[in-house]
Amino acid sequence: DKQLLPPFTALRYLGNLFHVFLLFEERGKDGLLIIDQHAAHERINYERFVKQATTATIVQQRLVKPLVVPLTDEQEVLFSSRHKVLVDLGFDVALFGEGRVVLRAVPTLFRCANEAQLLLDLLDLPVDNAEDYDQLLDQMAMKACKASVKQGDRLSDAEVLSLYEQLCLCRYPLTCPHGRPTVIRREKKDFEKWFMRIK
């Protein structure tokens, strides 16, 4: 139910708690929204990658230096069956002699410290049918979570606004791809009960 997410103009940003939770007071409604910044960004990245993949508009990031990645025999077999899907999903990767591939670009959302390990992780993903595009897409989109805002990241007010507005645009904004809540709402009366001001 997107009703839980009022427009940003109806909120007053109070700040963050433990560098994890973003706190918003709902103007005139005695409500408090608590947003898990990491879960929210996971949802945003997941939907962004799925949309890019399904509309063939994946944004690529070329590596400064191509990576030669050694494969096990099993990974080499999986690579041949998944190569087309990997290319469709934004990877510029090709065989480079026996038991090796060369990686030249990755989807922008998959920027990470170790692109070679990312590729191996994607080859090792447990998918019932190695050529099942939808299953592989879903698993890879989950991996996009690694590019998300982490617990402890400090966000500027502008970044908080951007995160909130992007979350509001998601199809399923209230949970991350793993099913955890992105937003919890509490009311003034909840606090009054906790402090025994009311029964």
Per DSSP, what are the bridge partners of residue 62? 105
Continuous H helices in the chain: 37-54, 73-88, 115-124, 133-143, 157-168, 188-194
| 150 — pLDDT class (breaks 50, 70, 90) | low
**pLDDT over 80 (residue 198):** yes
Helix, strand, coil % in the chain, rounded to nearest 5: 45, 25, 30
Residues 118-141 have a mean pLDDT of 76
Burial class (CB in 10 A: 0-12, 13-18, 19+), 63: middle
What's the pLDDT at 25? 96
Please state, in angstroms and as integers, the Cα–Cα distance from residue 103 to each residue in 42, 68, 115, following that order: 25, 6, 8
Percent of the chain whose predicted confidence (pLDDT) is above 90: 51
Instruction: Kindly tell me the sign of the dihedral angle through the C-alpha atoms of 171, 172, 177, 182.
Output: positive
Three-state secondary structure call for residue 71: coil
pTM for the whole structure: 0.82
Residues 97-114 have a mean pLDDT of 86
| 85 — pLDDT class (breaks 50, 70, 90) | confident
Q: At 104, phi and psi to the nearest 5?
A: -110, -25
Least confident segment among 51-60, 111-120, 163-172? 111-120
| 189 — pLDDT class (breaks 50, 70, 90) | very high
